[in-house]
Amino acid sequence: MKRIAVLIVLFLSLVAVMPLFADDVTKQSIESFDGKPIGVQTAVLYEELIADRVPNTTFQYYTMPNDMILALQSKKISAYLIEQVGFGVQKANHPELETLDELPGYIDATMIVGNNSKQDTLLAQLNEFIALCRADGTADEMYDYWINNFDPETSTCDTTGFSGENGILSVAVEGGYEPFSFVSNGSLSGYDIDFICRFSRAYGYTPVFYEVPFESIAPGVETGKYDIGMNIVVSEERNETGTLTDVYYSCPVVLVVLGEQKSELSFFQQISNSFYKTFIRENRWKLFLQGAGVTVLITLVSILAGTGIGFAVFMFIRRGGKIPNGITDFFLWLIHGMPTVLLLMILYYIVFGSSRLGGMWVSAVGFSLMFACSMIDMLRVGYNAIGRGQFEASTALGYSDTLRFFKIILPQAARHFLPIYRNEVVTLIKETSVVGYIAVLDLTKISDLVRSRTYEAFFPLILTAIMYFVIETIMTYIVKRIDISIDPRRRSQADILKGIKEWE
């Protein structure tokens, strides 16, 4: 027993002094991460600052900066790169985060100007405004307010007072990255928003902001969909392909690692605090309802329009003409073979690139086309499953071709394709979650924006999943009721015989 007691004492003593011998993560060198996974936000190019120093490292790319915190905590990455100003906000919410003493480097941020008729004028005006802001101290004032002294709870900007005599200015911002652009009290705020608002007041524009994933900002501007894209990191290649303004802010980049995790709150206090930040603060529950409404609207429009288009095309090709069927098969192959995100981006940035058609309606067009293709396939399956005897019997009973189709063939065919139709409805609802790539604030995008503010993942993700389940349940219930209403086995004999020609 004495030996056991001595061992216990020695073990406890070792545990107590271990922190004294623990490595100080902030003293590590960048080279010590060679061969370890490092996180970086997609398209920011920060990895180029250290790529030659960690040649064996695999960089993992994330859409949102705050997703890298979860990846670091779950040991999926060993560190991640971020601007120092962005880290300051993250540190306030996650005290366990630390940075290496050694800075990987500095970045210069510019704006990219859209490839449209405004390009030359806007480029000259933006460069002039950047120079004026530096000369009169406005740039320093904004930098102090939004970066040095940023408070996510109180820092706001004036988004009013636009004369608009020179028209609308469409601006692409990330929308989920404090302190540059983020949603506060239901509207956009941040350094980038403040800069563009000041510019618009000075040059007679009315700005309209679009929350776009960072990696989609430059492509959208280069196709002319947006007039300006914010927060573009300068690089040689980007100077060759895009029209960039002068630098409007510079900032060091840091390598973030996980330090000692501490929490003064109990488990239930943490849950309560997370719930409050996610739903109660700034009435963020309204954002989730807004996002759900957009998701439902896109889904309903796509189902109704897709069903109508698909049915109309099928009625045109059902008699087997080679040319119309060949053309239809080509479009089915083209649309079915294309990833959903790619189809939406082609429609948004290329097909409707020069128009002002909003992302929500472009999404509705894209999903309507996809659902129409599925509808054509479903109708073909159901139609071909009906035996020839049904066609001959209905003709013998005096049905015209159109009446035969709607009274005899379609109700029976529906029994074959309606189960597939229900599955397609569910699939469509889930696929709408990608519309955030073309600046649509749907349910998933709202969840991302809230997570970017609260630095909490549990409640936003769980609630989003629950809301999708609710929407899917309601939609599938409606389809099931339609299925029951047209089931021939549930129809009365009078309804079945209605319309049959009586023979003397």
For strand 228-233 and strand 168-173, is the pairing parallel, antiparallel, or unpaired?
Answer: parallel
What is the model's pLDDT at position 238?
A: 64
**Domain for residue 96, yes or no?**
yes
| Secondary structure E strands in 213-354 | 228-233, 243-244, 249-258
Q: Are residues 148 and 200 in the same domain?
A: yes
Q: Are residues 206 and 355 in the same domain?
A: no
CB-CB neighbours of 272 under 10 Å: 12
**Domain for residue 147, yes or no?**
yes
What is the model's pLDDT at position 13?
A: 45
CATH number of the structural domain spanning residue 118 = 3.40.190
**Domain end: 76, 105, 134, which one?**
105
Q: Are residues 312 and 222 in the same domain?
A: no
**Domain for residue 303, yes or no?**
yes
Q: Are residues 373 and 435 in the same domain?
A: yes
What is the model's pLDDT at position 98?
A: 92
Task: Identify the domain containing residue 343 by its residue range.
Answer: 281-485
Total structural domains within the chain:
3
Q: Are residues 53 and 122 in the same domain?
A: no
**Domain for residue 491, yes or no?**
no
Q: Are residues 50 and 127 in the same domain?
A: no
**Domain end: 191, 225, 249, which one?**
249
Q: Is residue 122 within 8 Å of residue 228, measured between CB atoms?
A: yes
Q: Are residues 358 and 373 in the same domain?
A: yes
Give, for all 504 residues of the chain, the pLDDT tens digit.
454 444 444 444 433 444 433 456 677 899 999 999 999 998 888 999 999 999 999 999 998 888 899 899 889 999 999 998 888 888 877 888 999 988 899 988 999 998 888 889 999 999 999 999 999 999 999 988 988 888 877 888 889 999 999 999 999 998 888 889 988 877 889 999 999 999 999 999 999 999 988 888 888 888 888 999 998 887 766 666 668 999 998 889 999 998 876 656 676 777 888 888 888 887 888 889 999 999 999 999 999 999 999 999 998 888 777 888 888 999 999 998 899 999 998 998 888 877 778 889 999 999 999 999 999 999 888 887 777 777 777 777 767 777 777 777 787 788 788 888 888 999 999 999 999 888 888 999 888 888 877 777 788 889 999 999 999 999 888 888 877 776 656 655 565 555 555 444
**Domain for residue 440, yes or no?**
yes
CATH number of the structural domain spanning residue 57 = 3.40.190.10
What is the model's pLDDT at position 456?
A: 79
What is the model's pLDDT at position 218?
A: 85
**Domain for residue 222, yes or no?**
yes
What is the model's pLDDT at position 21?
A: 39
What is the model's pLDDT at position 17?
A: 40
343-346 — which CB contacts under 8 Å span 24+ positions? 343/369, 343/370, 344/434, 344/435, 344/437, 344/438, 345/216, 345/219, 345/437, 345/438
Angle of helix 191-203 relative to helix 119-136, nearest 10 degrees, comes to: 110
Q: Are residues 155 and 213 in the same domain?
A: yes
Distances, alpha carbon 367 to alpha carbons 231, 375, 379, 424, 433, in Å:
31, 12, 18, 11, 12
What is the model's pLDDT at position 320?
A: 73
Q: Is residue 317 within 8 Å of residue 331, measured between CB atoms?
A: no
Q: Which two tokens stand for residue 96?
A: 């366990």
Exposure b/e, 243-259, CB count within 10 A at least 16 = b: bbbbebbeeebbbbbbe
**Domain for residue 390, yes or no?**
yes
Distances, alpha carbon 468 to alpha carbons 373, 395, 403, 433, in Å:
24, 46, 39, 10
For residue 113, the cross-strand partners are: 228, 243
Q: Are residues 84 and 135 in the same domain?
A: no
**Domain for residue 495, yes or no?**
no
Q: Are residues 360 and 384 in the same domain?
A: yes
Q: Are residues 323 and 393 in the same domain?
A: yes
CATH number of the structural domain spanning residue 421 = 1.10.3720.10
Residue tagged 């506060």 (tokens): 184
CA 352 to CA 343: how far, in whole Å? 12
Estimate the share of the chain in helix, then strand, then coil, as percent rounded to the nearest 5. Answer: 60, 10, 25
**Domain end: 105, 120, 149, which one?**
105
Q: Are residues 140 and 50 in the same domain?
A: no
What is the model's pLDDT at position 178?
A: 85
Distances, alpha carbon 231 to alpha carbons 189, 190, 248, 359, 481, in Å:
14, 12, 9, 21, 50
